[in-house]
Amino acid sequence: MPPALITLACVIGFVVCWSSGFVGGRLAMGASMPILALFAWRFLFASLITGLFWCCTRRQQLPLTALLAEAGIGALTMGGYLLGVILALQFGVSTGLTALVAALQPLLAAALAGRWLGERLGAQGWAGMLLATLGVGICVVDDLGSAQAAPAWAYALPLLSVVSVTLGSLLSVGRLTALPMAATLTVQLWAATLIFTLAALIAAQGRLALPVLDGITLSAIAWLIVLSSLGGYGCFLACLRRLGVTQTSTLVYLTPPVTLVWAALMFGELPGRHGLLGMLVALLGVVIALRRLSPTHTKTPAAGAAG
């Protein structure tokens, strides 16, 4: 297969699978077990799959320091990021709005990491960021006005997720090829397993619910493992190695509209008129800001995890 077609397949797979993580979180709400426990088991099963592949293909002993560093990155980019996303969905923040807030992560990374990026956003970049923030604010107001509005404080949860994944992404700069893909996935998935296991134990007062063998629960776990963990993170790493970090980060901005299509088809979630206006304003801000980012600059912090 020509390299261009392989790259295109990676791009399409990344956008589709990345957006599926938000839908997977929403789908897991209907499972017959606590969602935090479901995610803990999901990460455990996914890490066992990638760990088995890693054991079968590894050619050398990896340094402990590199493994611990990847675990720390995974705790932030997978564990902390997704914990905030799941809690936001659990408290009633809409799927599309959660995805929209999460999609602002590369802009936040660019704003906070000028010395790592080697460039500043500049006046036009900051104007774009402010416009995108205004668009998100319009969406939040629209969501608060809906019949099933979430508590006002719950809208801070996706922002905390963005902060977590941005910190993890900054730590990952310069480590994109430090470990083989299977090793990176395995260690980061194990770290996320630990984060969600602790969260589930705290929420259930020391008990971790076992997986329930019904159709909805098994479908949610399979969705999250195949599409979100293996598909999303696998395509993410493949895009990083083929396109570089900056171009891969820009693909994140395609996930909110794809997430909206998922949510509309599967759950009937449709934004109001003000919500649509806010998304257009946010998209315009993103386009303005991204024009200030060099398409060949490859040290931009990586985009965050979705699922």
pLDDT (0 to 100) of residue 187: 93
- Measuring CA to CA, how many Å separate 126 from each of 99, 111, 162, 183? 21, 8, 18, 37
Q: What's the pLDDT tens digit per position in 54-110?
A: 888 876 788 888 889 889 989 998 899 899 989 988 888 877 778 777 777 766 766
Token digits for 241?
């190695």
Contact (Cβ atoms closer than 8 angstroms) between residue 272 and residue 144: no
Domain boundaries, the chain: 3-290
pTM above 0.85, yes or no: no
* CA dihedral angle for residue 224, residue 230, residue 233, residue 239, rounded to 10 degrees: -130
- What averages of pLDDT result for each successive group of 10 residues across the chain (307 residues)? 84 87 84 92 94 84 86 90 89 78 71 58 72 74 65 84 82 65 89 96 93 89 90 81 68 74 77 74 72 48 51
- Report the distance separating Cα 60 and Cα 69, nearest Å: 18
∠ CA 285-291-292, rounded to 5°: 100
pLDDT (0 to 100) of residue 301: 45
pLDDT (0 to 100) of residue 197: 97
Token digits for 185?
């996935």
